[in-house]
Structure 1
Amino acid sequence: MKPYPLQFQPEMKERVWGGRALERFGLTLPEGHIGEGWMIGDHPNGTTKVVNGELAGLGLDEIRETYGKTFFGSKGFSEKNGRFPLLIKLLDCQDDLSVQVHPNDHYDKLPPGELGKTEMWYVLDAKPGAKIIYGLNPDVTRETMAQAIAENRIMDCLNEVPVQAGDSFYIPAGTVHALCSGVLVAEIQQNSDTTYRIYDYDRPGLDGKPRELHIEDSLNVIAYKGAGATRMTTELSQSGEWLTLAQSPYFVTEKGLVQGDWSLSTSADSFVIHVVCEGSGSIRWADGELAAAAGQCFLIPASLGSYSLHGDMTVLRSYLP
């Protein structure tokens, strides 16, 4: 079978902080407060299925098992669990997320087969005055953090930053963080669903009961001296060039401006994932063409070779280092 760009049916997740904003991308949402669209996923808690071409109806896990390194590349698997190594999401935050932190791959209390979670956010939209929690204030230690949690004044320890569309945030495992209300985000992350909540504003979950907190695990995995988190404002003035937003051991994410036709190519090492942030156009390759619009995500097989992005759009490109 000839390789071709894959598009998937998203897995929608209801969250207490979610809303309906993902509908702006033409996505069909189930009822409820939809906070997460898992756009490309191969995880026990959500596996997306192909909607286009010869492989339509197959899950990403089935493609992995059948086509292996041909599609995903020589680096295209998690060494720990053999699964697709990344999870691609769109997040609609109509309320504040819990203050949280993620472990790295080496934390000894991870569930069997689960990875740590290093991630990055690209802000697609932000209401005036929107902010996020991003790291700790200077000189916060495990002891001062534990005391602040016990005294219900954790916000004294947290660094709040304003956000606007186009901002990018790299969030290595160990970074305390929280998206706040009024932001719409594309998230590139390790293929993990492990989150340790530190604080959740004393609110009930979807079931009316308080959501579980994970204080001891959080205190164990926080990088108090800093995990290497970086942020940037990403203005592009020229098309056909990639701006690096995040470079981690697990993925590289870049931003590019498409104006006209941009010729690209895959390598045998890694698949490529494109997230369309703004505008519209198409993906063209030797055997076909696929329309592309804001909010859509595509997996380009490592074996595809030459292809091009065409149109007028802003895109993210992610691949394995």
Structure 2
Amino acid sequence: MKQPIFLKPIFQERIWGGTQLSDTYGYQIPSNKTGECWAISAHPNGQSIVRYGDFEGKTLGELWSERPDLFGHFESDRFPLLTKILDANDDLSVQVHPNDEYAKEYECGELGKTECWYIIDCDEDADIIFGHHAKSKEEFIQMINEGHWDDLLQRVKIKPGDFFYVPSGTIHALCKGTLVLETQQSSDTTYRVYDYDRVGQNGELRELHIEKAIEVTTVPHTATKVEPTLAKMNGSTITTFVEEDYFTVYKWDIESRAELVQDGPFTLGSVIEGIGTLITSEGEFALQKGDHFLLPNGVETFEIEGQLSIIASHPNHKGGTQQHVAGTAKEMANV
């Protein structure tokens, strides 16, 4: 099969969610507290569905099980990645995610969660929580126990177009007024460290996971600097943001036309702006803002025409030759 598979996202309501997923992308959301669009997902807690074509109505998880050829027989017991768009209409809880080894032992075989964020849009003077100031585990525990959150948590100013790599073990939180595309391991495990003393729908304080969070948090915080690399062609730009153990993430800014080479076993794409056409050997496929698609294995080369921006990713095998941050751009274009 050499044509893209277009996927219908599902939506998750969150107490910090809003209406940006409808306002910006025109999605039909379940309420004005919709926080997450699970755009490309085969996770049991929410699976994308094929919109049309030969596999119309099937979940991505069913395709993964029934048609391993579409994914290059990628060596994993589950679909490895999850693409989300998050509407942080209010501050998210301060949280941390475990690595694979910890999650496998303590979360019933779940994957760990390394993720990354592309800031689609944000309020002026918006920030995020990214890391902490504790120099030792003892100091980390003491500051948590004494509630010294302003001293503990590290805040970073953000602007549209910023990119953050968030390995497992990193204390983090999106804050009010941000719209973010997230690429992550296919995991739904989160340990809340601090939640501003908010109550849930049951009227009680939301659960925290302090003990597990202390066990998995990296102390002292180590920020991995992202150094994007750019490849330009015919007025279009391919940016490689990160290339690490689990995934490589790109941004394709197409000004008129680009000839591209698929560099992974399969590729995930999310159109965050604009309109255009995706061309493979099997035909032409319309693209518009808010579309999400999967390029299966076998689509070796393809073209994109129009004026649009796409966040694309593909999985990598942990333990391979990948670097934590992109060093040199891959040859993505036939120029």
With structure 1 as the length reference, what TM-score do the two structures score?
0.92
Q: 5+ residue gaps in structure 1? A: none
Q: CA RMSD in A?
A: 2.0
Deviates more, 1:116-125 or 1:246-255: 246-255
Closer, same or farther: CA 71–192 of 1 in aligned 2, 3 Å: same
Answer yes or no: is 1:243 the counterpart of 2:239. yes
CA shift for structure 1 position 92: 0.2
TM alignment of 1:264-279, pairs within 5 A: 264-266=260-262, 270-279=265-274
TM alignment of 1:68-107, pairs within 5 A: 68=68, 70-74=69-73, 76-78=74-76, 82-107=77-102
Letter in 2 for 1:14: E
Q: 1:252 aligns with which of 248, 254, 271?
A: 248
Instruction: Tell me the equivalent position of 1:186.
Output: 181
Structure 2: distance between partners of 1:207 and 1:71: 43
Structure 1: distance between partners of 2:70 and 2:57: 17
Structure 1: distance between partners of 2:305 and 2:200: 43
CA shift for structure 1 position 96: 0.3
Instruction: Tell me the equivalent position of 1:129.
Output: 125
Closer, same or farther: CA 232–315 of 1 in aligned 2, 3 Å: same
Are the equivalent residues in 2 in contact too, given 1:104–1:115 (CA < 8 A)? yes
CA shift for structure 1 position 256: 2.3
Answer yes or no: is 1:224 the counterpart of 2:223. no
Instruction: Tell me the equivalent position of 1:41.
Output: 41
TM alignment of 1:21-60, pairs within 5 A: 21-23=20-22, 24-60=24-60
CA shift for structure 1 position 14: 0.4
CA shift for structure 1 position 227: 4.7
Closer, same or farther: CA 3–235 of 1 in aligned 2, 3 Å: closer
Are the equivalent residues in 2 in contact too, given 1:275–1:317 (CA < 8 A)? yes
Structure 2: distance between partners of 1:275 and 1:248: 20
CA shift for structure 1 position 232: 6.1
Answer yes or no: is 1:318 the counterpart of 2:295. no
SS at match of 2:256: strand
Answer yes or no: is 1:174 the counterpart of 2:169. yes
Structure 1: distance between partners of 2:201 and 2:232: 44
1:236-259 deviations in Å (ceiling 9; x for gaps): 986444222122200000122112
Structure 1: distance between partners of 2:106 and 2:224: 22
CA shift for structure 1 position 71: 0.9
Answer yes or no: is 1:115 the counterpart of 2:111. yes
Structure 2: distance between partners of 1:99 and 1:234: 30
Closer, same or farther: CA 263–226 of 1 in aligned 2, 3 Å: same
Are the equivalent residues in 2 in contact too, given 1:40–1:297 (CA < 8 A)? yes
Instruction: Tell me the equivalent position of 1:196.
Output: 191
Letter in 1 for 2:204: K
With structure 2 as the length reference, what TM-score do the two structures score?
0.88
The sequence identity of aligned pairs, in percent, is 40
Closer, same or farther: CA 242–289 of 1 in aligned 2, 3 Å: same
Are the equivalent residues in 1 in contact too, given 2:262–2:299 (CA < 8 A)? yes
SS at match of 1:106: helix
Closer, same or farther: CA 29–259 of 1 in aligned 2, 3 Å: same
Answer yes or no: is 1:11 the counterpart of 2:10. yes
1:160-204 deviations in Å (ceiling 9; x for gaps): 011111000000001100000000000000000000000000011
Letter in 2 for 1:177: H
Letter in 1 for 2:78: R
User: How many residues are paired up?
Assistant: 313
SS at match of 2:62: helix
Letter in 2 for 1:319: H
CA shift for structure 1 position 77: 4.5
SS at match of 2:212: helix
Q: 5+ residue gaps in structure 2? A: 317-335
Closer, same or farther: CA 209–30 of 1 in aligned 2, 3 Å: same
Structure 2: distance between partners of 1:120 and 1:317: 12
Closer, same or farther: CA 293–151 of 1 in aligned 2, 3 Å: same
Are the equivalent residues in 1 in contact too, given 2:230–2:240 (CA < 8 A)? no
